[in-house]
Amino acid sequence: MAEWNEPLIAPPIISLRGIVNRFGTQVVHDGVDLDVKRGEVLGIVGGSGSGKSVLLRTIIGLNRPAEGSIEVFGKSMLDMNDRERRQIEERWGVLFQNGALFSSLTVVENIETPLKEHTQLPPELRREIAELKIRLVGLAPEAGAKFPSELSGGMKKRAGLARALALDPEILFLDEPTAGLDPIGAAEFDELIQSLQRSLGLTVVMITHDLDSLAAICDRIAVLVDKRIKVGTLAELQRDDHPWIKAYFHGPRARAAGIGGSAGEPVPQPAN
Ligand SMILES: Nc1ncnc2c1ncn2[C@@H]1O[C@H](COP(=O)(O)OP(=O)(O)OP(=O)(O)O)[C@@H](O)[C@H]1O
């Protein structure tokens, strides 16, 4: 039973309010609000150029918004010093689209990089942790000695994921994790993310175009439309009347993923 002074509703792990992003005269976000709950898997979708990557970059501090506030772990990201920022960065991991591995380093050395940067651990312990992460993401131990150019697309993603997990993060940010994988590889990667999320208690925020992933592992979905965000469960968004959302969740790709529902009136198709 909750103590009298415990909050009944846990505060969001990430909270955005009124985010405005513009490049020159182009307004990409015009008042984006979003709360991410601890322990959930949140998918971010939207048309090409709707600002999904810019949103992710804004949350992790690679892009400063023109207006608005960002809180992560209850701390305001826009007015903290470098030391505070580093401490926060240690609590999340990021997997960029192509894995973004250092090509001149082996897989195990890539995974050791954040440990070198953020901890004082001795080399042999760093190596042990990196090897553990290799196993955690389902790579064979021999993969550790390989260079990124020697890996398949799926292996690169797993290696990038292992590096993102190096510091035992609380939040995992993924930018199109299944892009470029065949359907079986994509489904396996989804399963991996879901099992890691459950076993490690992660909060996962992932940009995806993959309707199978949305249906399989996302608790809620944030849709970028009209420079703002609408968020809901898949079932809620399937009932939404916005033309883009309707087209996305009832179009042929949605039906192929088994989430299109019954064929209703024809709706306009999204650009991507
Ligand atoms: N650094 C930048 N300078 C100028 N314009 C930018 C910059 N970064 C992004 N943009 C513009 O912001 C818009 C949103 O870009 P973003 O990459 O976030 O789209 P996206 O939703 O991720 O698209 P996609 O699904 O095609 O990857 C685009 O029109 C892009 O050209």
The answer to whether residue 20 sits within a structural domain is no
Lowest mean per-residue pLDDT among 27-36, 61-70, 176-185, 234-243: 176-185
Residue with CA at minimum distance from ligand 1 atom 8? 54
Triad 230, 236, 237: Cα angle to 5°: 50
Triad 188, 194, 196: Cα angle to 5°: 100
Look up the domain containing 97 and give its range: 41-51+89-256
What is the per-residue pLDDT for 7? 56
pLDDT tens-digit readout, 108-133: 999 999 999 999 999 999 999 999 99
Q: What percent of the chain has pLDDT over 70?
A: 92
Query: Looking at beta carbons, which pairs linking 6-13 to residues 24 or more positions away fall under 8 Å?
Result: 10/37, 10/38, 11/74, 12/36, 12/37, 12/38, 12/71, 13/37, 13/38, 13/72, 13/73, 13/170, 13/171, 13/203
The answer to whether residue 243 sits within a structural domain is yes
What is the per-residue pLDDT for 8? 62
The answer to whether residue 73 sits within a structural domain is no
Model confidence, pTM: 0.89
Beta carbon of 144 within 6 Å of any ligand 1 atom: no
Beta carbon of 50 within 6 Å of any ligand 1 atom: yes
Residue reference for tokens 């082996």: 106
pLDDT tens-digit readout, 210-228: 888 888 899 999 999 999 9
List the alpha helices (DSSP H) in 72-122.
82-89, 107-118
Secondary structure (3-state) at 237: helix
Number of H helices, E strands in the chain: 10, 10
Whether the Cβ atoms of residue 71 and residue 79 lie closer than 8 Å to each other: no
Residue with CA at minimum distance from ligand 1 atom 3? 23
The answer to whether residue 3 sits within a structural domain is no
More confident residue, 189 or 260: 189
Q: Average model confidence (pLDDT) for the chain?
A: 90
**Confidence check: pLDDT of 272 > 70:** no
**Confidence check: pLDDT of 31 > 80:** yes
Query: How much distance in Å is there from the Cα of 19 to the middle of ligand 1?
Result: 15
What is the per-residue pLDDT for 215? 85
ipTM of the complex: 0.97
The answer to whether residue 24 sits within a structural domain is no
CATH number of 178's domain: 3.40.50.300
Beta carbon of 51 within 6 Å of any ligand 1 atom: yes
**Best of 30, 52, 205 for a ligand 1 pocket test (most atoms within 8 Å of beta carbon):** 52
Whether the Cβ atoms of residue 76 and residue 82 lie closer than 8 Å to each other: no
Query: How much distance in Å is there from the Cα of 67 to the middle of ligand 1?
Result: 18
Secondary structure (3-state) at 35: strand
What is the per-residue pLDDT for 264? 42
Q: What is the arithmetic mean of pLDDT over 137-159?
A: 94
The answer to whether residue 63 sits within a structural domain is no
The answer to whether residue 16 sits within a structural domain is no
Provide the angle, in degrees to the nearest 10, between the axes of the packed helices 153-164 and 123-136: 130
The answer to whether residue 115 sits within a structural domain is yes
Rounded to a whole number, what is the distance in angstroms from the first to the last CA of the chain? 48
Query: How much distance in Å is there from the Cα of 23 to the middle of ligand 1?
Result: 9
Q: What percent of the chain has pLDDT over 90?
A: 76
Residue with CA at minimum distance from ligand 1 atom 28? 49
How many folded domains does the chain comprise?
Answer: 1
